[in-house]
Amino acid sequence: MLFTALLVFCILLIIGSNSKATQTVQAGYEPEKYVPNEVLVRFKEDVVGDISQNKWLVQNLINLVQGKIKTFLKQEISTSAWEPAVFTQRSFMGDPYLFHIRIPAEISVDYAISVLNSNPYVEYAERNGIVHLDSTEPNDERFDEQWALKTLPPETHLLFILKRIFMLRKRGISLPEAHLSL
């Protein structure tokens, strides 16, 4: 099941990478700069300490703004259901002290940021920004010198990955779902 889902995802990725999006922009259109009702909060490591032992502290601060934690797997969980020792419940894989918080629409994002930033346990709280690409063209002067980009078609990379996954599964080695989720 997981292998089939990965295969379908890779095929869609290849198809999508070969098509170019239209560059039409409506008059007066300005892209959003921030995700509505979302905040990024980083707690101070030296003050909070072991987050598993002080989870109540994080829960209480997030509850002040009635927030829900968004995980890197795109799930929303309440602070009462959050377990810091569970890797898949982190907002960011590499930083257990950084949280992606969804704030209810009734609460102003500016208010939530000011409440969180006023707490001594919080290193920073800020809006969840959206990054927009100005161009999809590479800006590397030596881009044309990269031989692998010319000699290997994108399909070759996909086939190599799929062959490796098939060989691992054939040997009875299963890959953790966390490594395959994108």
Write the pLDDT tens digit of every residue in 129-145. Answer: 888 777 667 777 877 77
- Residue 114 falls within a domain, yes or no? yes
Residue 44 lies in domain: 34-129
Q: What percent of the chain has pLDDT over 70?
A: 66
3-18 pLDDT, tens digit per residue, is 555 555 555 555 554 4
In Å, how far are 20, 82, 104, 110, 169 from 77, measured between CA atoms? 36, 7, 13, 22, 32
- Residue 89 falls within a domain, yes or no? yes
Q: Domain tally for the chain?
A: 1
- Residue 70 falls within a domain, yes or no? yes
Cα gap 42→36, rounded to integer Å = 19
Task: Give me the chain's average pLDDT, please.
Answer: 75
Chain centre to alpha carbon of residue 132:
16
- Give yes or no for a contact between 116 and 61, defined as CB atoms under 8 angstroms apart: yes
Max avg pLDDT among 79-88, 98-107, 157-166: 98-107
**DSSP class of residue 137?**
S
- Residue 15 falls within a domain, yes or no? no
- Residue 78 falls within a domain, yes or no? yes
In Å, how far are 115, 142, 148, 151 from 145, measured between CA atoms? 51, 5, 9, 11
60: CATH? 3.30.70.80
Query: Mean of the pLDDT values across residues 15-23?
Result: 47
Cα gap 78→59, rounded to integer Å = 9
81-96 pLDDT, tens digit per residue, is 888 888 888 888 888 8
- DSSP assignment of 106-134: TS-HHHHHHHHHTSTTEEEEEEEE----S
pTM to 2 decimals?
0.57
Cα gap 121→85, rounded to integer Å = 20
- Residue 26 falls within a domain, yes or no? no
Cα gap 74→67, rounded to integer Å = 15
For residue 99, the cross-strand partners are 41
- Residue 174 falls within a domain, yes or no? no
Query: Mean of the pLDDT values across residues 90-110?
Result: 88
What values do phi and psi take at 105, rounded to 5?
-65, -25
- Residue 179 falls within a domain, yes or no? no
Cα gap 70→78, rounded to integer Å = 9
